[in-house]
Amino acid sequence: MLASIWPSWLSKEKEEPQTEADSNSDVADESTPKAHPVTPSLDVPSFTLSGDDAETNSSTDPSPTTHEVPMFPAANSAQRADRIAPANEQRSKPSVSGPASLMLPPSLSTGNPRGLTATNAPRGPLPNRGPPANSQQRVNGGLSPNGVAGASKGRGKVLLKPGHSPMDWAALIRSGNLSGVDTFQRVTPIQLKAMTGRKGKPAWSSWQGKVYNITPYLPFHPGGEPELMKAAGRDGTKLFMDVHPWVNWENMLGPCLVGVLVPENYASSSLEDMD
């Protein structure tokens, strides 16, 4: 039974028909051959750290290494030296003859699921889709500290009253005409100037040649009523564009459309044309 685990260099003894250990007899058989220890003939590699080897393995070796990843044993270690490795074991030992046989860590660029390279990788931050960096809205941090428009010199969003959210406004403009007039009007600059939102008059403002009644929108304006009132009775295009050019005025105030802005002498010139 023990024969199956005998090392190969004991094969001679293993082949003997019977050993003492295998015998079931209580009395030792004088004729049973005895096993004798045999010194292995293999050339077992060994090394020392003394003398020249220690000098060779010194970490202060000034010769530059060609590998970035430290290896163990070191490339110039006596453990890797061919001169002490038996010729019949060289296949199972790592070769130090070239870098191709060394296992290096995977390159960082190979694990790149987006396929970005140095040439197509985005440079700098992603595109900014909000207000420009130098916008007053960014400079003043948007909402004023106490949520009240005009509380500071800067502009900002305000706390709207309950029932005056953008969603509420969206629902309101679906309800119908909010212009305050029954038919579209031709509005002259003098007429527009009179619609200031004060003394019982509605607040009108023009946007790219169209006149809107902004009175119903005042309590819904996220920038506050005072800000929106700056455009009352006049052309609000520049004021609007300076603050939030991305807001769609026409969509938001569609049902508030009063008419179109016409030159002051429009009526008389039209009558003359009719003659």
Exactly one of 197, 202, 216, 222 binds ligand HEM (CB under 6 A); which one? 222
Give the residue closest to ligand HEM by C-beta.
Answer: 223
Q: What distance lies between CA 80 and its chain's CA centroid?
A: 46
Question: At residue 193, what are phi and psi to the nearest 5 degrees?
Answer: -65, -25
Residue 78 vs 231, nearer CB to ligand HEM: 231
Q: Where are the alpha helices (DSSP H) in 231-265?
A: 237-243, 249-252
Identity (one letter) of the amino acid at 177? N
According to CB under 6 A, which residues from 181 to 210 bind ligand HEM?
205
- Helix, strand or coil, per DSSP, at residue 110: helix
Q: How far is the CB of 222 from ligand HEM (least distance, A)?
A: 4
What is the nearest approach in angstroms of ligand HEM to the Cβ of residue 199? 20
Question: Which residue lies nearer to ligand HEM by CB, 202 or 222?
Answer: 222
Judged by CB under 6 A, the stretch of 2-10, 96-104, 120-128, 248-256 that binds ligand HEM is 248-256
- Contacts for 131-139: CB closer than 8 Å, 24+ residues apart: 131/244, 131/246, 136/242, 136/243, 137/243, 137/244
DSSP for residue 32: S
Smaller CB separation from ligand HEM, 216 or 262: 216
Measured from the CB atom, the residue of 139 and 247 that comes closer to ligand HEM is 247
| Contact of 205 with 231, CB cutoff 8 Å | yes
In the complex with ligand HEM, the residue whose CB is nearer, 78 or 225, is 225
Token pair recorded at residue 273: 């044309």
# residues contacting ligand HEM (CB under 6 A): 23
- Nearest approach, Cβ of residue 243 and ligand HEM (Å): 4
Pick from 249, 257, 259, 261 the residue near ligand HEM by CB under 6 A: 249
Classify each residue of 20-49 as buried b or exposed e, where b means 16 or more C-beta atoms within 10 Å of its C-beta.
eeeeeeeeeeeeeeeeeeeeeeeeeeeeee
Binding mask 227-246 for ligand HEM (x = CB under 6 A): xx-xx----x--xx--xx--
Residue of 45, 150, 223, 255 that binds ligand HEM (CB under 6 A): 223
Q: Scanning residues 101 to 140, which ones bind ligand HEM (CB under 6 A)? A: 137
Of 146-175, binders to ligand HEM (CB under 6 A) are: 155-157
Tokens of 216: 């119903």
Cβ distance to ligand HEM smaller for residue 116 or 139: 139
Q: What are phi and psi of 144, to 5 degrees?
A: -70, 155
Which residue intervals of the chain are DSSP H helices?
Answer: 11-14, 52-57, 136-139, 166-173, 189-194, 225-229, 237-243, 249-252, 266-274
Nearer to ligand HEM, 96 or 172 (CB): 172
CA–CA separation, 214 vs 107, rounded Å? Answer: 63
- List of residues contacting ligand HEM (CB under 6 A): 137, 142, 155-157, 205, 214, 221-223, 227-228, 230-231, 236, 239-240, 243-244, 247, 249, 252-253
